[in-house]
Structure 1
């Protein structure tokens, strides 16, 4: 039997081994085992790995062991697509430098005090973590000098390109010494990433974690067919039935994120929203509450949730199915961490969602099982059992029960029997749930829309023509459109299918260049020679002004208000 690899086998320093041991790890993950020795030797590297595989430590450990702790200038730069991920990465570096006290790091991102960041840089740091936009800002101000930086890591490089940061990334790379170590980590390897690696790396080692290793085996993946208006009732029932301490709910838009959060709070569930419209201070406050368990449910959009790394998340709900398969893997990777069990729950509302489930199964090479919504009887039984436990728990507490006994005595003297008193108290606990549950019927029949009930017979059904089940061929080039309302304005842009642009290119460019949250961008229609996109009216002038001096996929773009 092959002996399992230890961190001590990778050639890392004693200080790192002690820090890793304090964090409770002895065995490196596959991506760490394959990358750390090569990075310690100074090799350029391309790592294909996703969130939850331990990739942060795989580049952080070699960086910490390679920088000169006696030289107080930036020697390593790590670029991240979002401020949440940048903060998470820098936090991991702080933990790993526990026994290398002379090594310091700082995090540079928008929304934080630039004066504080300048002070940190002047004080002297060896490792800089930041988002491309804020790093560029410091380069322009000459508060960050890259002449002495010998290592650069692009974390989640594909996400940065999708957000429109390619130009910034290339400017940063060109500002660095030619003799350097260049490292790319990316969940996917599209052509633009490969183009950058060919241009800026020298004979890189390629490390790829296979998909079966990326799909966490201890995550149970299921889906429920539910009518759209009943999603809130079902999600409430599932949270109550399973008594999740911490759970994540993903929505595709900021508006739905806020609506779901407000409805959960109204139902007595402690919930917080996380999306691009929140300031950095607000995001930090929300994440701290979630980490400390002061709220049990975090409702988030994909972009805002990038970099969330919270232990003990028991369940991930896809209130809206994600727009692509990669995001699905990112989402469910937030649960089932560190060998613990987790659950991914998907809501399906129509034929198109059923098609997405089929696509996801092919992508992750794992079945997503259909589940029947929990019945009224199941939930009532759970509530009864919980009530019995609570009663025994309260009776076990030693305290003066005089006030309770006096109240019982008063009710008995007024003619109530012990049985009537008990029934009245039971009704106080259970009647609201009984009334609410009996008013909800989750039955929904989508079997005629392209998905068979029998798991054994579905394989053949999946291979039928995509047009019968709303497959990708019918959706290509479009982003699901929000109903345009008085708050949205339709913009025309001069690029279309002939320019090979996708909805993600448009959203990423607008979000990356203007700061308008991607979740607030509405419907996108892409035609042969031009496209349309809906943006909030309050941002129209800003979007037009900024985007008309920029490019999408390297091509000059012209935005104007649609006349038709």
Structure 2
């Protein structure tokens, strides 16, 4: 479906085409026709970043009477940042709607200037509840002509304590109106507001209620509590293009983690309630323009920060309520892109994982903390990619090349590459040379319960482990590449020197034959059926006895 087929006005189509909008996102495809063709109240349940602003904004703009310069639509949102962003988007969509006036109303800015704008006349007000209540008490804002009320991120507004303000605002606008409620989750308080203030609302759901978007992978790393910060650093190092938010539970923890990252050379900063509004705006702007790689934040401080291309969200410990996790994870994997939501937890938090899995209808992938060797290899590949893709300006560097050639003439190509790698990675090599492994070992009882694999699955022994830099994605990639059919893969357990992979019993012999034929590795890959006594990593299976004394590249000391 195209935007034209949704019945959008030609002037608005022209504006959104210039913004690069090509095809409607699911929430837009479902909501826009309903709002344009009827006066239905609507409850829209969708994750942040799924295109909700255009879904309600375009119909509101199109239905505005430009000749009547009084507030006809009211949009409520939880934070000044989101307020400004929605107003900016509406102004962009209405570029060719001559005379349309949109006013953002929020705290932290001059109320006098907002009053002056109201007196001049506006069509659409985008407001935070607190500032709007102030204007209502002063008698400087008239809501008697409002025909559309939108509550965006309604669950966040309730979490921030705006329930009484919302009740007062909704009681002040005309009963004959269209009410639109957009939320990522549907807690009981939202349901109560919908029942009180909405008339037979049509519920439009993108995904399932409270379900996480399919664009987000959920991964959990289990470590000792004392190792959480070290685990965070390794994860950030393993993803050279990491651009994400690390969520902490308290302001104190947020500042401590940010300070530690800055001391260790990471491009990071903190965002929490102890900062002034000016400081928060400064940090947010640095993060938006990617002058920061890592933003360490509390949930409250990060509300309203809208960035579409986050690669990761890290839960530095899980929140107490599942809705908060849903909001955190929804900040990545937006606008059609993919993302990863990571939880760094200790063993006592595992029960929270299961609760979240049931609520979001997704499983957490078991993560393995990267080894120093794996991190260095990943960083090296990233450097090589940058070198391959760098744009060479021949004219600009022509005068400098002869000097460089003369200076490096005595070095071979191999010597230049060695020096380049050493220059870039000596510090990282030194740091990770004797680094300990951080994963919490799987309890003996848990391993014993998995000796023979899940029902219908065979458990295979592999003579490669963490010391070889192996992680679950590596094994999956190897099986996909070398086994001549699609294979269902179950549990993957990676120990220091060996690993175990579960595949369907009917595929086990094919997998063993295919993987044992692989050549060209640092040492021979050996795959065999695991024996019960081998599941603790003691190398006493048939294959373990055969290859226990095989030469292995030693770890650097």
TM-score range for the pair, normalised by the shorter chain length: 0.7 to 0.9
User: Structure 1 residue 224 and structure 2 residue 221: aligned?
Assistant: yes
2:103 and 2:124 in contact (8 A); partners too: yes
Where structure 2 has 5 or more consecutive residues not aligned to the other structure, the ranges are 456-557
8 Å CA contact 1:451–1:458 kept in 2: the answer is no
- Cα deviations across residues 460-512 of structure 1 (Å, max 9, x unaligned)? xxxxxxxxxxxxxxxxxxxxxxxxxxxxxxxxxxxxxxxxxxxxxxxxxxxxx
| C-alpha displacement of 1:106 | 1.5
Deviation at 1:394, TM superposition (A): 11
**Contact 1:138–1:144 (8 Å) recurs in 2:** yes
Structure 1 distance, partners of 2:319, 2:329, is: 11
3-state SS in 1 of match to 2:278: helix
Instruction: Name the residue aligned to 1:522.
Output: none
Give me the whole-angstrom Cα distance separating, in 1, the residues matched to 2:378 and 2:400.
Answer: 30
- Displacement of 1:364 in angstroms is 2.0
Tell me the equivalent position of 1:503: none
- Correspondence for 2:10 among 11, 14, 18: 14
- Kindly tell me: are residues 156 and 102 of structure 1, through their superposed partners in 2, closer, same or farther at Cα, counting changes over 3 Å? same
- Residue of structure 1 in register with 2:99 after alignment: 102
Q: How far has the Cα of 1:21 moved from its partner?
A: 2.0
The match for 1:382 is 378
Aligned runs of 1:79-478 on 2, under 5 Å? 79-211=76-208, 215-244=212-241, 246-352=243-349, 354-385=350-381, 398-400=398-400, 429-445=424-440, 447-448=442-443
Is the partner of 1:152 in helix, strand or coil? strand
Summarize the Cα distance change of 1:381–1:36 in structure 2 as closer, same or farther, 3 Å threshold.
Answer: closer
TM-score calculated relative to the size of structure 1: 0.71
Contact 1:257 1:301 in 2 (8 A): yes
1:400 deviates by 2.7
Q: Distance in 2 between matches of 1:37 and 1:383?
A: 48
* Aligned partners of 1:35 and 1:58 also within 8 Å: yes
Are the structure 2 counterparts of residues 305 and 403 from structure 1 closer, same or farther at C-alpha, using a change threshold of 3 Å? Answer: same
Q: Select the structure of larger CA radius of gyration.
A: 2
| 1:56 CA displacement | 1.9
Residues 36/375 of structure 1: CA separation in 2 closer, same or farther (3 Å cut): same
**Cα gap change, 1:449/1:300 in structure 2, threshold over 3 Å: closer, same or farther?**
farther
- CA change 1:237–1:455 in 2 (3 A) is farther
Aligned-residue offset at 1:218: 2.9
Rounded to whole Å, the distance in 1 between the matches of 2:60 and 2:43 is: 15
Separation (CA, whole Å) in 2 of partners of 1:386 and 1:181 = 52
C-alpha deviation, 1:387, in angstroms: 5.8
Q: How big is the alpha-carbon RMSD for the aligned residues of Structure 1 and Structure 2?
A: 3.3
- In the alignment, the residues of structure 1 paired with residue 190 and residue 425 of structure 2 have an alpha-carbon distance, to the nearest angstrom, of 57
1:50 to 1:208, Cα distance in 2 relative to 1, 3 A? same
**1:421: Cα distance to partner?**
10
Contact 1:272 1:297 in 2 (8 A): yes
1:455 Cα deviation from its structure 2 partner: 12
Does the Cα contact within 8 Å between 2:369 and 2:439 map onto a contact in 1?
no
Q: Summarize the Cα distance change of 1:213–1:302 in structure 2 as closer, same or farther, 3 Å threshold.
A: closer
CA shift, 1:390, in A, is 7.2
CA distance in 2, matches of 1:408, 1:128: 65
Aligned equivalents of 1:399, 1:232: Cα separation in 2: 47
- Counterpart Cα distance in 1 of 2:378 and 2:196: 60
Check conservation: 1:351, 1:449, Cα contact below 8 A: no
- The question of whether the paired residues in 1 share the 8 Å contact of 2:315 and 2:343 is answered with yes
Q: 1: CA distance between counterparts of 2:446 and 2:69?
A: 61
Aligned to 1:47: 44
Q: Aligned in 2, Cα 1:444/1:246: closer, same or farther, shift over 3 Å?
A: closer
Gaps of 5+ in 1: 460-564
Structure 2 contact 246–294 (Cα < 8 Å) conserved = yes
Matched positions, count: 449
Distance 1:205 1:387, change over 3 A: closer
**Contact preservation (8 Å) 1:19, 1:98:** yes
Task: Provide the C-alpha distance between the structure 1 equivalents of 2:452 and 2:233, rounded to a whole number of angstroms.
Answer: 31
Q: How has the CA–CA distance of structure 1 residues 214 and 284 changed in structure 2, closer, same or farther, with 3 Å as cutoff? A: same
> For each residue in 1:280-336, what CA deviation from the matched residue of structure 2 results, as whole angstroms up to 9, or x when unmatched?
333332222222222222222222222332132112222222222222222222222
Cα pair distance change 1:369/1:194, threshold 3 Å: closer
**Are the counterparts in 2 of residues 350 and 446 from structure 1 also a CA contact under 8 Å?**
no
